[in-house]
Amino acid sequence: MGYWQDSAKKEGPQTSPKVPAGQADLHVSKIIFGTKNGGFFTTKDNDRQILVVFKDNQERECAQMYTLSDNAGWALAKLLEACGLNLTKMDEAGVKPDRFTDERFATANLVGRKIRADVSYETVNGKEYARVVPMKRAGSAATATAPAQENFAEDAIPI
């Protein structure tokens, strides 16, 4: 049989191959904002979260959950810095982590961005989770790969 017929006969949910552990060049391929039934991802303290999905150049995936609170925003800050976003400009515009709960804003400012990261995996309660640790970017934010124009004003969402 051919690829399509073989693929159609596979049982169960199909997932993309995962990025192997180690250093990898990744790009943000999409952001998932909540569950299939329309609920938001939240922590036990009810802080909102987003799931950032990364792909490598072979279309393998890994994902990392980011909590969008002032206390836990340091993890998102490290991702934004690795993506080459201008953190000073974000501070000046008053952007806080919870701004990334806005799907249009987060997508416009993150999807397509490239990073170098150290990828590892850990098992919690029998389920494997990726740990994506962005590596500091060499050089300045001016060398960043930016698919969308940075626009952090509260009333101006890049589309």
CA quadruple 87, 91, 100, 67: dihedral positive or negative? positive
pLDDT tens digits, 23-66: 999 999 999 998 888 789 999 999 999 999 999 999 999 999 99
pLDDT tens digits, 133-153: 999 866 544 444 444 455 555
Angstrom CA distances, 120 to 4, 14, 23, 128, 145, stand at 32, 21, 9, 10, 24
pTM for the full model? 0.80
Rg over CA atoms, the chain:
17
What per-residue confidence (pLDDT) applies to 141? 43
